[in-house]
């Protein structure tokens, strides 16, 4: 595993505290990946449990929209972000699967994949294909994230984001703040670049062309869950961004107008070549401050039920600026309230694309991780923590010894990968995991084996059902069958860790 350490640079500005292509065939050949539409390589790792592609949704009693597999089982997707796919190794992907995760979110860069208009980087695409090929092999799902931070490399963001040839800043100056990278979003040059991206017909067309080319290249992968259409969207702020009212009004105007228009264009672009994938929309980062999104609903042109989801991020601004979390600040409760109404109104499954403190080992941040995992179990169909690396702090989910980083234990806890019923409550404390669920109601297609990700050697006890059948033959999974149990029965399962030593 490649060991990476990342500085705990603040991710959010203080202002927020207050509130293919022609080379496609060559690239596919270099990567050894299947051509678009071709059957993927049947060779797969035999020692890793599978996760089914979500083909539909169901509605929980509390109104949540949940992802379901072809057998109607409720799915929970949990995983990690791969921040730099060119540094990711097969050992990384294998380890992610071995830790019980089922999902990776892969950050990609328009700038790196299309460094000049209509000129695609074959080697770059080959590396991306390779990572998805490993996800195929180890039975993970992959969410491709169209990533940007402060627009792109024109504004000091390294080589990621929107390419310089698609950057129009009208020659305005840009002065980076080394202590607060997020403050760059409020500089006039960046605001102007975003305005042109949203408004200029040629930039709109070029962006849609890129999405279409990439979706054509990747659609042959069995692991491809879909696309997070635009990371942490931002745009023009009309007024003083330190004024919470100005910031909220600008965010609402963006979500209702320019950003909504971009999402609908990009949905059409991907759907022109890919009718299978899920497409996720993100709100602005203000949702992390308890400000509900003002995004509208989106039409999905695919035949059959829509496959559109909602992918907010779950960050506490004070924690990202270096503070240890204060449980009295109301962050988790405020966020949960803000996140709920939009996906329920539009019947969208929620997948939290990024979350996690820069140093989970501090006492307050340890509690934050525990509460975030518990909260997401109540409103989300899945999440990916930021991010997969090994080191001390810096958001790394693994410590220097390669084990779960101190404080991140709840993120590695057992969870129901596929549930023949509807989840009600779950908890994890001192290594003991408890899940309460209701078996499928009459008329619902929820039957068969439930599968819980758990470390090898874990023990499973069942209450509320007669004659349960437990299968431990699949590594990393406890499989449960409840023959003869009536639909609507409340069942409680408890997973206890393997004996020490």
Q: What is the DSSP letter of 241?
A: T
pLDDT of 231 reads: 97
Low-confidence ranges of the chain (pLDDT < 70): 1-48, 441-447, 501
DSSP one-letter string for 114-180: -SBTTB--HHHHHHHHHHHHHHHHTT-EEEEEE--SSSSGGGT-TT-SS-GGG---TT------TT-
When the candidates are 3.30.70.270, 3.40.50.1010, 3.20.20.80, 3.30.70.930, the CATH number that belongs to 14-303+322-344+365-412 is 3.20.20.80
How many Å apart are CA 308 and CA 321, to the nearest integer? 32
Q: How buried is residue 38: exposed, middle or buried, by Cβ count under 10 Å (0-12/13-18/19+)?
A: exposed
pLDDT of 357 reads: 97
For residues 186, 189, 195, 196, the Cα torsion angle rounded to the nearest 10 degrees is -160
pLDDT of 181 reads: 87
Tell me if 14-303+322-344+365-412 shares its fold with 414-501.
no
How many Å apart are CA 320 and CA 323, to the nearest integer? 7
pLDDT of 498 reads: 86
How many Å apart are CA 234 and CA 230, to the nearest integer? 10
- Which among 314, 315, 103 is positioned nearest to 226, based on CA atoms? 103
Dihedrals phi, psi of 430, to nearest 5 degrees: 50, 40
How many Å apart are CA 258 and CA 243, to the nearest integer? 22
pLDDT tens profile 428-441: 988 899 999 999 75
Do 270 and 279 contact (CB within 8 A), yes or no?
A: yes
How many Å apart are CA 65 and CA 146, to the nearest integer? 24
pLDDT of 356 reads: 97
pLDDT tens profile 225-268: 999 999 999 999 999 988 999 999 999 999 999 999 999 999 99
Q: What is the DSSP letter of 384?
A: E
pLDDT of 13 reads: 52
pLDDT of 45 reads: 52
Pairing of strands 56-59, 65-68: antiparallel
- Domain 414-501 -> CATH class: mainly beta
How many Å apart are CA 367 and CA 289, to the nearest integer? 19
What count of Cα atoms within 13 Å lies in the side-chain half-sphere of residue 82?
A: 33
pLDDT of 43 reads: 45
Would you list the domain boundaries of the chain? 14-303+322-344+365-412, 414-501
Q: How buried is residue 140: exposed, middle or buried, by Cβ count under 10 Å (0-12/13-18/19+)?
A: buried
């Amino acid at each position: 595993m490649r060991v990476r350490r990342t500085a705990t640079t603040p991710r959010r500005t203080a202002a927020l505290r207050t509130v293919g292509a022609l080379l496609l065939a060559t690239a596919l050949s270099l990567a050894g990946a299947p051509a678009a539409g071709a059957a993927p390589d049947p060779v797969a790792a035999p020692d890793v449990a599978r996760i089914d592609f979500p083909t539909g949704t169901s509605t929980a009693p509390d109104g949540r929209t949940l992802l379901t597999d072809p057998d109607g089982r409720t799915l929970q997707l949990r995983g990690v972000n791969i921040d730099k796919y060119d540094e990711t190794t097969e050992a990384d992907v294998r380890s992610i699967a071995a830790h019980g995760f089922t999902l990776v979110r892969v950050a990609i860069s328009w700038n790196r994949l299309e460094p000049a208009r209509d000129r695609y980087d074959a080697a770059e695409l080959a590396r991306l294909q390779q990572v998805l090929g490993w996800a195929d092999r180890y039975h993970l799902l992959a969410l491709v994230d169209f990533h940007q931070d402060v627009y792109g490399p024109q504004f000091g963001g390294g080589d990621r984001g929107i390419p310089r040839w698609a950057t129009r800043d009208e020659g305005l100056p840009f002065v980076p703040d080394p202590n607060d990278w997020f403050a760059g979003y409020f500089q006039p040059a960046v605001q102007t670049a975003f305005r042109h991206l949203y408004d200029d017909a040629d930039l709109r067309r070029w962006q849609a062309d890129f999405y279409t080319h990439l979706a054509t290249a990747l659609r042959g992968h069995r692991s491809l869950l879909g696309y997070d259409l635009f990371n942490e969207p931002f745009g023009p702020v009309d007024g003083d961004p330190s004024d919470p009212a100005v910031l909220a009004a600008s965010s609402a105007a963006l979500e209702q107008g320019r950003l909504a228009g971009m999402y609908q264009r990009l949905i059409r672009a991907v759907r022109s070549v890919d009718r299978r994938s899920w497409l996720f929309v993100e709100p602005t980062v203000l949702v992390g401050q308890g400000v509900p999104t003002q995004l509208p609903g989106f039409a999905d042109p695919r035949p059959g039920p829509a496959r559109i989801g909602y992918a907010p991020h779950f960050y506490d601004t004070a924690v990202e600026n270096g503070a240890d979390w204060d449980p009295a600040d109301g962050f988790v409760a405020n966020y949960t309230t803000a996140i709920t109404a939009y996906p329920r109104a539009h019947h969208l499954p929620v997948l939290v694309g990024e979350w996690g403190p820069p140093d989970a080992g501090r006492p307050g941040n340890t509690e934050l991780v525990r509460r975030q995992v518990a909260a997401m179990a109540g409103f989300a169909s899945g999440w990916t923590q930021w991010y997969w690396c090994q080191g001390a702090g810096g958001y790394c989910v693994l410590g220097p010894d390669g084990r779960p980083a101190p404080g991140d234990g709840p993120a590695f806890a057992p969870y129901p990968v596929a549930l023949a019923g509807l989840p009600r409550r779950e908890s994890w404390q001192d290594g003991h995991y408890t899940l309460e669920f209701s078996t499928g109601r009459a008329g619902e297609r929820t039957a068969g084996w439930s599968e819980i990700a758990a470390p090898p050697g874990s023990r499973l006890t069942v209450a509320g059902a007669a004659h349960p059948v437990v299968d431990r033959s699949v590594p990393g999974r406890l499989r449960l069958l409840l023959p003869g149990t009536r639909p609507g029965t409340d069942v409680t399962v408890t997973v206890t860790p393997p004996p020490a030593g």
